[in-house]
């Protein structure tokens, strides 16, 4: 009698087989329209695991070892994931989900051999890679050369947009995951408020926030961009307190002091679904200039929430969101929003000033939102008439509904002071 594997599904969040079938059906309808025999979906660890986004969308497997999914127009889906030692006595993801069961150790040779075994070596093959305005693209030059060399008679086409479009509007199950993610994120905010105090190390604060994520059921997600330091300071000392630092610049071992500000941006991942938060805490009494700046940040968020409705364009929302800053002669590093879900900073992304580059809205201003899109908001503002190196960070995760935006985290609107 064949031994049963240890079942991990009761201990991990699961998406239903109905959700899987919905996604597979939609993908295969698009494949049929373009006469594509199969998709090769690239996944790796680029941008803290976001490179697995499209693989995870089709398989529910988000391994940080990476993987390539072979997604045929009909037949079984195969995932080549992880080195061989992670597949003995079986790949652990076999026990963690019920969407696919054919998981094999990764090698480009194995991928190409399976494509030939399926009879696709002369077929039309769609290549799906992952990329966004922050992370670049995860399909490596050497892997693509290997694919071309191994399948010289196949027709390769870029079908990355196909899966990105499917991910753009969220299903009811996806929104349910994001609601849980947002609820955990709110608890992380509360932990930040409770922990930031004189004598507490920046690294201790960071660790407390990560601990809350894990004990509340979120996945390990070491994405906390954090900076801390004194609000007051000599004119000869420059600080970087207008946006959080990334690893390994944070967390540092510096102890918080009275008169400090702590600013951060973080994600919480639940079943891979990311809620986005930006938040500011003050240790000690803040100056009135900082309170005024925070009040403007709240105006920006409220303006965005009101505008997040189906049919609203990127231009309309960004203009309303930025008006409180522009009308007061303030300035910003990022002030806008980006599509959120299994990934962050997906299309449409508008956080930069016009002309600053790929995260500006120059080429997407007229894109209209649809119901059940999800967006993270970025409000990183400062007052150059006061300080150019100290500001506030503020932002929530917003669900687009017919009655306006719904905040999924519900960050406090008052400036926390410890």
pLDDT tens by residue, 192-209: 999 999 999 999 999 999
Torsion on CA atoms 25, 31, 34, 37, rounded to nearest 10 = -140
Domain 9-168 CATH assignment equals 3.40.50.300: no
Q: What residue ranges of the chain are covered by domains with CATH 3.90.230.10?
A: 172-407
Helical axes 288-307 vs 314-327, angle rounded to 10° = 160
What is the model's pLDDT at position 130? 93
Q: What is the pLDDT of residue 263?
A: 98
Mean pLDDT by 10 residues, the chain (418 residues): 84 98 98 97 87 96 92 96 90 95 94 96 96 83 93 96 96 98 98 98 98 97 94 82 95 97 98 98 96 98 97 95 97 96 92 75 82 98 96 98 97 93
Beta strands in 231-363 (DSSP E): 260-270, 273-283, 331-340, 344-350
pLDDT of residue 47: 81
Angle at Cα 18 formed by Cα 12 and Cα 20, nearest 5°?
70
Condensed to tens digits (0 to 9), the pLDDT of residues 313-339 reads 999 999 999 999 999 999 999 999 999
CATH number, span 172-407: 3.90.230.10
Chain-centre distance for alpha carbon 10? 25
CA distance 7 to 96: 7
Pairwise CA distance, residues 63 & 55, whole Å = 9
What's the pLDDT at 2? 65
Per-residue burial over 380-400, b = 16 or more CB atoms within 10 Å of its CB, e = otherwise: bbbbeeebeebbbbbbbbbbb
Expressed in percent and rounded to 5, the helix, strand and coil fractions of the chain are: 35, 25, 40
pLDDT, residue 399, reads 98
What's phi and psi for 110, nearest 5 deg? -65, -40
> How many whole angstroms separate alpha carbon 14 and alpha carbon 382?
42
pLDDT of residue 137: 87
Residue 358: per-residue pLDDT: 61
- Looking at residue 360, what is its pLDDT? 59
- Residue 160 near residue 128 (C-beta atoms within 8 A): yes
Q: d(Cα 126, Cα 128) in Å, to the nearest integer?
A: 6
Contact of 389 with 241, CB cutoff 8 Å: yes
Instruction: Give whole-number Cα distances, 288 to 113, 197, 347, 370, 386, in Å.
Output: 66, 20, 37, 39, 11
State pTM to two decimals: 0.95
The residues, any chain, with a CB within 8 Å of residue 46's CB and separated by 6 or more, are 130, 135, 136, 138
């Amino acid at each position: 009698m064949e031994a049963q594997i240890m079942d991990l599904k009761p201990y991990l969040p699961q998406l239903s087989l109905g959700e899987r079938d919905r996604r597979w059906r939609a993908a295969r309808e698009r494949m049929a329209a373009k006469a594509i025999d199969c998709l090769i979906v690239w996944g790796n660890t680029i941008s803290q695991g976001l490179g697995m986004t499209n693989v995870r969308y089709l398989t529910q497997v988000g391994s940080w070892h990476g993987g390539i999914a072979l997604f045929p127009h009909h037949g079984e889906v195969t995932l080549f994931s992880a080195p061989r030692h992670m597949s003995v006595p079986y790949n652990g993801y076999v026990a963690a989900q019920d969407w696919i069961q054919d998981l094999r150790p990764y090698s480009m040779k194995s991928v190409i051999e399976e494509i030939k075994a399926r009879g696709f070596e002369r077929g039309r093959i769609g290549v799906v890679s992952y990329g966004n305005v922050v992370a670049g693209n995860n399909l490596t030059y050497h892997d693509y050369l290997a694919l071309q060399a191994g399948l010289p008679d196949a027709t390769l086409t870029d079908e990355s947009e196909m899966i990105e479009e499917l991910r753009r509007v969220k299903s009811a199950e996806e929104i349910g995951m994001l609601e849980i993610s947002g609820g955990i994120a709110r608890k992380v905010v509360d932990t930040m408020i409770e922990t930031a105090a004189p004598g507490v190390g920046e690294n201790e604060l960071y660790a407390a926030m990560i601990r809350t994520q894990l004990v509340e059921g979120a996945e390990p997600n070491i994405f906390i961009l954090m900076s801390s330091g004194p609000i007051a300071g000599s004119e000869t000392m420059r600080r970087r307190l207008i946006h959080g630092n990334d690893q390994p610049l944070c967390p540092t071992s510096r102890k918080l002091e009275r008169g400090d500000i702590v600013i951060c941006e973080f994600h919480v991942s639940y079943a891979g679904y990311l809620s986005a938060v930006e938040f500011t805490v003050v240790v000690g009494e803040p100056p009135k200039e900082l309170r005024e700046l925070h009040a403007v940040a709240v105006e920006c968020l409220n303006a965005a929430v009101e505008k997040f409705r189906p049919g609203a364009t990127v231009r309309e929302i960004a203009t309303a969101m930025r008006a409180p800053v522009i009308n007061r002669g303030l300035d910003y590093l990022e002030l806008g929003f980006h599509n959120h879900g299994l990934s962050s900073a997906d299309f449409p992304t508008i956080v930069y000033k016009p002309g600053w580059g790929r995260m500006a809205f120059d080429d997407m201003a007229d894109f209209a939102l649809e119901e059940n899109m999800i967006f993270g908001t970025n409000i990183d503002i400062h007052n150059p008439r006061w300080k150019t190196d100290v500001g506030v960070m503020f932002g929530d995760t917003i669900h687009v509904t017919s009655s306006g935006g719904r905040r999924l985290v519900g960050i406090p609107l008052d400036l926390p002071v410890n």
